[in-house]
A and B are shown apart, each in its own frame.
Chain A
């Protein structure tokens, strides 16, 4: 069992080679990338201590992304399920419609600081792509988004956003034509253009520095939540924090401020898509996109194909930081099928005013399973990390309607 280090932020618990718990992460990349990522690491370490930069970030979060996202109780759902109190941290209310807005914005700010004029990123659901495109436009950067052709067609509304914001959307037609291929192609683009391009990786994956930047940016969510909880309850109550896991960036942001709490006090529950579930199905450790991580592979070590209705979850790997949280026993991981996520969407939208995208619908599904088994004094908070508009067409195909 791996032990977490006390009083060390989760992202900083790596050794000098970028490994967490001697097992996850690292920098498995081409020699060409070594210098650029080393430069980026130095820049990031400087910026995260730089008051002026932090102020700039906070200003962007406040004025450009709209500030603190709401936290509220779902009275109807709580009553309906008849167990734990259910609360929603509605990150989807952010300008940009998903948590990806935080690290897209931070990446654009870092790109600016680095003096590079080009920024490139991968996207599956299109949430990161869209937010990166918007941030790039705001900061006058040239933006390229790599996206699998299957995702371009199933997440069309977000593709339109990207193009309207002036980004070039590069279709990736290799392999399964989904996120895994988009990330690979984006990394290739970086290998070939690292002298003038900043790489913005769409989740907490990749070589050490990329996952650090990502999780550092999304942790805004838990900073807000902690304050909101104290305001509401006067203390941090006995909690279960439920979050969907694709690469794992939203969960890391949602959990970051609560890592040091005992798990009996604040339990962390990650929900994967059933057929893209390396953390909850005992997948082996493999090296994908520059890092060692729990990842679905075949016996030969080739990266396995995944299946999920949700483009944002259709990815065989997982953040090295989730490997660390799993092996240290700090978080636990489960999964939900397409069907369960759809059923959750149906129930939630019947009872409440929120309209989650397919990704957080998986988290809601676990909440629905769990709440009835718990007491009234138990508090569940779900990170509603993405807006449903992008999946409207899929919901209509699958359920026959999209609620008002």
Chain B
């Protein structure tokens, strides 16, 4: 297994801070723009997540829906995404990139072909929102065989028994959903409760890198500093929406936002 994701966590740990992970939608608002955004923010990131837009995203809130919609309107296809990943990795070979999407996009493309393409383009990890345990066992194995980290999710509703099974079958990174919600809503639970859930997961297997995501913004990020990693998605997508609306350059605005996020966790 190649170690780019583990290394990213190690590097952050050395600096005594959580890994900063962005989520943007590939192709938002155009193919080139989305690559420019990622290139520009990557200096402040430890790991980049790129969403594969789907037009029936049943677990996403308004902000990510808007981003996906723009990307699809501008004609993004899965093959474009692989090409863009390749271009990104060409200049930043050690920056891990995780693709995140819905299973339909993979199913339609063909699991094996999809994984092969991920491998040759340099994808380091995959999150498939609607392919949960235990239905994801075979796919996770296929990822493992191809040195791709399959990231599983744990929600506040996940039972302890299930949590243990998920952790046992997980690769190096686990994604903890902060609250009962789709992406992009405000945190419904207190920071204390979220950290308690996080610690509970960590205790089961301390060697796994556990990141917290959903609802993290500039305002809340510093309170969650004790996690291995923090994912900010909707807040960034919202900034792209705002920039486009105000006819400003999303690249500079998003870069500024990500810099601010980084400053809050160092």
- Chain A: residues with CB nearer than 8 A to chain B? 17, 26-36, 174-175, 180, 184, 187-188, 191-195, 284, 286-290, 292, 297, 300-303
CB pair B59 A188 closer than 8 Å: yes
- Residues of chain B within 8 A (CB-CB) of A195 are 157, 180
B48 to chain A, nearest CB (A): 22
Number of B interface residues in the complex (CB < 8 A):
41
**5 nearest interchain CB pairs?**
A301-B108, A32-B155, A287-B104, A35-B157, A30-B59
Closest to B157 in A: A35
CB pair A286 B129 closer than 8 Å: no
Cα A28 to Cα B60 in complex, Å, equals 14
Q: Which of B108, B157, B181, B185 contacts A34 (CB 8 A)?
A: B157
CB pair A191 B130 closer than 8 Å: no
- Within 8 Å of chain A (Cβ to Cβ): is B254? no
CB pair B156 A287 closer than 8 Å: no
- Residues of chain A within 8 A (CB-CB) of B54 are 301-302
- Chain B: residues with CB nearer than 8 A to chain A? 54-61, 65, 69, 72, 77-78, 102-105, 107-109, 129-135, 152-159, 162, 177, 180-182, 185
- Residues of chain A within 8 A (CB-CB) of B180 are 32, 191-195
Known contacts A27-B135, A30-B132, A297-B104; 7 further A-B pairs (Cβ under 8 A)? A30-B58, A31-B152, A31-B154, A34-B155, A192-B181, A286-B107, A297-B108
A260 to chain B, nearest CB (A): 30
CB pair B129 A30 closer than 8 Å: yes
Given A30-B130, A191-B181, A290-B58, A36–B157 Cβ distance below 8 Å? yes
Q: Which of B77, B156, B162 contacts A300 (CB 8 A)?
A: B77
CB pair A34 B103 closer than 8 Å: no
A18 to chain B, nearest CB (A): 9
CB pair B132 A188 closer than 8 Å: no
A148 to chain B, nearest CB (A): 13
Cα A175 to Cα B60 in complex, Å, equals 14
- Residues of chain A within 8 A (CB-CB) of B55 are 175, 302-303
Cα A209 to Cα B162 in complex, Å, equals 19
- Residues of chain B within 8 A (CB-CB) of A192 are 180-182, 185
